[in-house]
Each structure stands twice: as C-alpha cells, then as structure tokens.
Amino acid sequence: MKLRVAALALMCVAPAVVLAAPATKKAAEACPAKPVLPPELAGWERNASSKTIYGYGDARQADWPPLGAARTELSLHKFESLRYGVTPEREPDVYKFGGMVPIEVRKDGRLVVALDGGAWIDLVRDGKVVKSVTHGHGPACSGIRKMVEFEVTPGRYLLQIVNAPTDRIHAMAMMR
C-alpha cells in the first residue's frame, strides 16, 4: 500500500517537473544579454561601492552611508540584531534578514526604491511610516524584482528593509 501511495505521489509531481524545465529555458532565451533600461533606471547598470546597512536603532545617522542613484549592494542582518526606527508594517521573520539605510531627499517628488530580491520596504519619516503610492516589478530581464514608489518632500527618511531571504540585497533609490 505504501508503495502505491509513493508511486501515485511521484506520478503527480513528475509531470510538473518535466513541464517546468522547458519554461525556464524559454525564459532564459527570451532575455537579451543586456536589457535596455528606461533612462530613469539607467543607474541600475552601475554598481556603487559596497555599503553596509547599520541595523541598530541607536547608530548615529551621520555615520550611515547614503543610498544613491546607482545599484548598491547592502549587507543585511538577522532580525534579532536589529532595532528598527519604527515597528515594521510587516511582521519580521526571525529566519530572514533586514536593515536600515537613510535617504536624503532634496526636492518634492516621487521616490522610487528598487530591489533585486523579495523583501518588505517601509519608508519612515519623523517616526511615522510613509504610505507607498504604487508598487510592482522592474522591467523584464532587468534583475529588478521589486519597485516601490513614495510621494516625498525634502528631508531625511529611513528606509527599512524587512524579511529579505538572504544577507545581501542590491538596492537603488531615485527621484522621479
């Protein structure tokens, strides 16, 4: 009986595995070697120097590296070593990673934050979470997995990254 159940389970899974392989190959073939990005995302093709997100609420903002309009690799931390500026809107997973980085906004407009991995993003100003205006994915084949936009005015903001699957993520912030 156990053998029949195992065989039945294998028969259900095997077609999915066989069908998944060609789809992955087609997706890889569909992407050009170097996708053409719209001008506002041109910074995604440039790597900024590697920066560390300081995941401690008592760190002085003056010591934190700014996130700029080029793709930056950020080192993230386990949840237990973090003290977020405000409680994240998404419940932190103790097995995932996160961190914080300041963003200086110099003019009114729309701030766009792009990530190459799945993670929750909170933008904080004066101890309050700024609600996002829109969110989605980057252009096909760009490597941008998530884009979130916020209406902002001049001032200092804190970008909180929550529940990233790995201890490194690429990020970029730009004004639109």
Q: What pLDDT is stored for residue 47 in this prediction?
A: 74
Give the predicted TM-score (pTM) of the model: 0.73
Q: What are phi and psi of 125, to 5 degrees?
A: -140, 130
Residue linked to tokens 């992407």: 31
- Domain containing 49 equals 39-175
115-165: pLDDT as tens digits: 999 999 999 999 999 999 999 998 888 889 999 999 999 998 989 999 999
Measured distance CA(68)–CA(112) in Å, rounded = 11
85-107: pLDDT as tens digits: 889 999 999 999 998 888 888 89
Do residues 144 and 74 share a domain? yes
Please tell me what DSSP assigns to residue 97: E
Name, of 6-20, 24-38, 53-67, 156-170, the range with top average pLDDT: 156-170
Q: What pLDDT is stored for residue 71 in this prediction?
A: 82
The CATH number of the domain holding residue 100 is 2.60.120.380
Measured distance CA(120)–CA(123) in Å, rounded = 10
Do residues 152 and 78 share a domain? yes
Residue with more model confidence, 10 or 37: 37
Please tell me what DSSP assigns to residue 141: T
Q: What pLDDT is stored for residue 93 in this prediction?
A: 92
**Which residues share a beta bridge with 98?**
77
Do residues 20 and 66 share a domain? no
Backbone conformation region of residue 120, classed left if phi is above 0, alpha if psi is from -120 to 50, else beta: beta
Do residues 86 and 27 share a domain? no
Do residues 104 and 129 share a domain? yes
**How many separate domains does the chain show?**
2
Q: What pLDDT is stored for residue 40 in this prediction?
A: 80
Give me 12's structure tokens.
């259900």
**14 close to 7: Cβ distance less than 8 angstroms:** no
